Structure formats: structure tokens, C-alpha cells
Amino acid sequence: MTKLSVNVNKFATLRNSRGGNMPDVLQAVKDCEQFGANGITVHPRPDERHIRYRDVRDIRPIITTEFNIEGNPIPSFIDLVLETKPDQVTLVPDAHDAITSNAGWNTLRFGRELKEWVALFKKAGIRTSIFVDPDPEMVSAAAKTGTDRVELYTEAYAKMYSLNPEKAIEPYIKAAQTAMSCSLGLNAGHDLNLENIAYFRRNIPGLLEVSIGHALICESIYLGLENTIQMYLRHLSDF
């Protein structure tokens, strides 16, 4: 099956809106894993408006599944990743003032820098993934950096899915096929939800992992966290 990594940023956003420690992000991590999540994702940003660097340090020792840290490889982020040594680091080119990730890397333009970052993390024993748009050219260029995986940015798919799922999925199939031909592992994430995840999973060859946060947390308000995670796992399973 495709693995589910739950992004817990939104728990931290809610906590930070009132101060204190409600909800408890560490307990949320434990609960997500207990309810079946195959991994935990965090995306610390410099302004720490949701997950804080301290959260990352506190979460690392309690992880029992896989830990994925994603973000823009600025110096402080690089230091944090090398200190905490997650299972995977996902490099995302988001600006410091971006509300959320809004584009993949131009792996042609930033190929040299990405190659250096990938080598640095891999030397530390950390699996690497590069966030890219569903563009075969960008996927091919990502492979030249030495990265282990790419993560397909799925916002465009999510926006078009309800109008024309076949057209929405088409560029992602081509990008996935390119990844396979380049011997790259394949992840995906951004705006995937219970409505569109099953179709995406069925049609994307070699999909190893999806990272889902915002939609999953929103859906869990109505459906319950355990039930929502279990629903995602069923959509991601062969059975």
C-alpha cells in the first residue's frame, strides 16, 4: 500500500492561536501513530507560526514510525535537520512569507544547489525528496541531483479533480512514469483529501507515500481523527 504520513502542523497552528499547550502536539503525534499513520510530517517555517523548531526537537525522540521534515533549506533548517536526523527530508522552495507551499523546485535552475543539499543530507544518512511540479523535465533534472525521491505537488490535481479527473491526473501520470524511468521513489502531497485520494492512488504508478495535513485535520473535526486516518488508509490500500 501507499504509506500515509500525517502532517501535524495544523495541531500546532491551533495551539499557537491561544498560547498554552492545547492541543498537545506531542500527544497528537502519538495518537496519529496509534491510529495507524505510517509516518509524521512537520514543516517548520522561520516565523514558527505553526510547528516550532523546539517542537521538531521534542517530536524526534517519540516517533515510532517514519519522521519527515520538509522545508526550504535555509541555514537554520539545514542545521535542524542535521541535528534531529529524520528518516526523510523533503526540500520545498517556499518563501518565508508563503501561507503554504505554492510551487515545486525549478530543478534545472537550482540543480547545483540541490545537488549540494542532497549530498549533505545523504551523507548524514537521511533519505532525500525534492518537491516538484508534475513536469517530466523537472523530474528528470531532479534525478541528476542524486535525490532518492521526488514529491509531486498536487494542488493542480486537487483543483481540477471535481471538474475532470482524467484531465487532472494526466500530467501526474506522465511525471510518475518519468520518475520510475529515472529510478526515483515517488511521494505526493498538497490538497489531497478523502474525495480525491483514491483516484490519485489508483492511477499513479509507484506511489510510495502521501503527506496530508490540512484536509485530514479538517475532515477529522467532523469524522474523528482515528476514523479519518483509517479512511485514508483504506483508500491507500490494495484491499
Which residues are known to be catalytic? 43, 70, 190
CB atoms within 10 A of CB 54: 10
User: CB under 8 Å to 224, separation ≥6 — which residues?
Assistant: none
Q: Residue 190 in contact with residue 158, Cβ under 8 Å?
A: yes
CB atoms within 10 A of CB 52: 18
CA distances to 76, 93, 123, 139 from 143, in Å = 25, 17, 17, 6
Q: Residue 72 in contact with residue 100, Cβ under 8 Å?
A: no
Q: Residue 69 in contact with residue 84, Cβ under 8 Å?
A: yes
The Cα 83–Cα 67 span in angstroms is 13
Q: 111-123 and 75-84 are packed helices; what angle lies between their axes, rounded to 10 degrees?
A: 20
